[in-house]
Structure 1
Amino acid sequence: MIRVVIIEDDVRIAGINQRFVEKVEGFEVVGIATDREQANEHLDILEPDLVLLDLYFPDMSGLEMLQHIQRNYPHTDVIIITAAKEFDTVREAIRGGVYDFMIKPVVFDRFQEKLKAYQKYHEQMQLLGGANKQVDQQGIDQLLWGTGDRSDKDAYLPKGIDRITSEKILAYVEGGEELWTAEELGKRGGFSRTTARRYLEYFVEKGVLVADTSYGTVGRPERVYRKV
């Protein structure tokens, strides 16, 4: 069983996350902490495999807690679950060693998908950290991409496409307007028009979006995107 500690100051949300965890086979919640003191006690006593960490607390910064975990509990992984959407925050969390990042509100299907992916990663880490303590290229690929076969198109993202950025853009598209242009998405998300266009075309290739040409009121052609 993968032992999970939830660090979340909102008791209601912590309870929801606990129920989600307990619905995924192979995971168990061994503790819930709502402040810094409880978090430190749970980490010391319970030594969890995985922490589900919020970023906003009255008495601490979640990013500081992430750094604390990385320094003092090297065998504990972290998935951040937060309402924070600022790119700098996401980037700092990634650089701080977070395994994954979920934006609230989290639906169960997405939650389960993330935990299942982590479960495979955790199992592979256990396997590779066995008796010989050595790893080959295939083992590294399995850790980084979830597979040793790089021909699997869903195992990794193409050059120029970042997973966190793609999820952020997809969240805008799924929760926003019916039609999007690269310029509109760029303004909304703080991206350049070129970056927004690259990700929109990526989602077209993946079958998530479809693209069309709109000529507008002055006849100037413009590429527009909508959900499938």
Structure 2
Amino acid sequence: MIRVAIIEDDVRIASINQRFVEKVEGFEVVGIATDRAQAHEQLDILAPDLVLLDLYFPDMSGLDLLQHIQRGYPHTDVIIITAAKEFDTVREAIRGGVYDFMIKPVVFDRFQEKLKAYRKYYEHMRQLGGANKQIDQQGIDQLLWRAGERLDRETYFPKGIDKLTSEKILSYIEESEDVWTAEELGKRGGFSRTTARRYLEYFVEKGVLVADISYGTVGRPERVYRRAENG
């Protein structure tokens, strides 16, 4: 489990964020701090893997706490959740080593997407890390791009591929063990055969599906798709 501390002075928002975290598989909230003293105490005692940090507090600056975390807790990552939209604030947070940045109010879908991306990064870091373990250029490139999260096949959609349509088709694929053709998928989702084929080929590239040729009952070749063994 990825251990999360929420540092947020608004108790209501902290409670909402806690419920959001607990709905995402692989995460648990280990503490909530609403002021500077509580934040420092929980960092010392709990040593969380991830901190969800606001920037505005009556008795401290969230950016100052971010610097404190970077200096004293090198194995703790930070995602800022704040109403702050000033460019200089965002730039300072990025330069301060924040993993990610969410603007309030945060809807659950966006929250979940960010935590899932972080979970990939966290797991990748654990695989690459270790005492005296060396890393090659590919590993460094992946870390600099947050384990490929910015450009990987789960978050980047090429021209002609829409996120909502992609998710809709993926739900059809995941709930069925059937072999699909472009025509069958088009009928199921109300798409043209050309559109269905484009998305099916996209999922082949992602490794979710594998494609094959079927000659059917009359010998006519047809491209068919089925779930990959690890898809």
In the other structure, the counterpart of 1:24 is 24
What is the aligned partner in structure 2 of residue 89 from structure 1?
A: 89
Aligned to 2:41: 41
Tell me, yes or no, if structure 1 residue 65 matches structure 2 residue 68. no
Report the TM-score when normalising by structure 2.
0.64
Q: Percent identity?
A: 86
Number of positions where the alignment pairs a residue of Structure 1 with one of Structure 2: 157
**Corresponding residue for residue 165 of structure 2:** none
Q: Judge conservation of contact 2:124–2:147 (CA < 8 Å) in 1.
A: no
Structure 2 distance, partners of 1:149, 1:8, is: 26
| 1:76-225 correspondence runs (5 A) | 76-146=76-146
Question: Once the 2 structures are TM-superposed, how far is the Cα of residue 143 of structure 1 from its aligned partner?
Answer: 2.1
C-alpha change, 1:2 and 1:148, in structure 2 (3 Å) is closer
User: How many Å apart are 1:132 and its aligned residue?
Assistant: 4.6
Deviation readout 1:188-217 (Å, 9 max, x if unpaired): xxxxxxxxxxxxxxxxxxxxxxxxxxxxxx
C-alpha contact (below 8 Å) 1:4/1:48 kept by paired residues: yes
Unaligned runs of 5+ in 2: 157-231
Cα drift, residue 53 of structure 1: 0.1
Alpha-carbon separation, structure 2, partners of 1:149 and 1:103 = 19
**Residues 152, 18 of structure 1: CA spacing in aligned structure 2 closer, same or farther, 3 A cutoff?**
closer
Root-mean-square deviation (Å): 2.3
Q: Is the 8 A contact 1:147 1:155 kept in 2?
A: no
Relative to structure 1, the CA distance from residue 121 to residue 34 in structure 2 (aligned partners, 3 Å threshold; closer, same or farther) is: same
Point out 4+ residue stretches in structure 1 off by more than 6 angstroms.
148-151, 153-156
1:10 equivalent to 2:27? Answer no
1:175 aligned partner = none
> What are the Cα deviations for residues 133-184 of structure 1, in whole angstroms up to 9, with x where unaligned?
211122123223355699857778xxxxxxxxxxxxxxxxxxxxxxxxxxxx
Structure-2 separation of matches of 1:107 and 1:115 = 13
Q: Distance in 1 between matches of 2:30 and 2:151?
A: 38
- Whole-Å separation in 2 of the counterparts to 1:138 and 1:122: 17
Give 3-state SS (helix, strand or coil) of 1:97's partner. Answer: coil
Bigger Rg over Cα: 2
Q: List gaps (5 residues or longer) in structure 1.
A: 157-228
Report if aligned partners of 1:24, 1:112 keep a CA contact under 8 Å in 2: yes
Deviations 1:87-108 (A, max 9, x none): 0000000000000000000000
Amino acid at match of 1:59: D
- In 2, Cα distance between equivalents of 1:150 and 1:34: 31
For 2:83 and 2:103, locate their aligned partners in 1 and report how far apart those are by CA, in whole Å.
Answer: 5
Q: TM-score if structure 1 supplies the norm length?
A: 0.64
Query: Which range is displaced more, 131-140 or 143-152?
Result: 143-152
C-alpha separation in 1, matches of 2:86 and 2:34:
23
| Structure 1 equivalent of residue 174 of structure 2 | none
- Contact 1:138–1:148 (CA under 8 A) maintained in structure 2: no
Q: Which secondary structure state, in structure 2, belongs to the residue aligned with residue 102 of structure 1?
A: strand
CA contact (8 A) 1:11 1:34 kept: yes
- Note closer, same or farther for the CA distance 1:2–1:57 as it changes in structure 2 (3 Å cut): same
> Relative to structure 1, is the Cα distance of residues 136 and 16 closer, same or farther in structure 2, using a 3 angstrom cutoff?
same
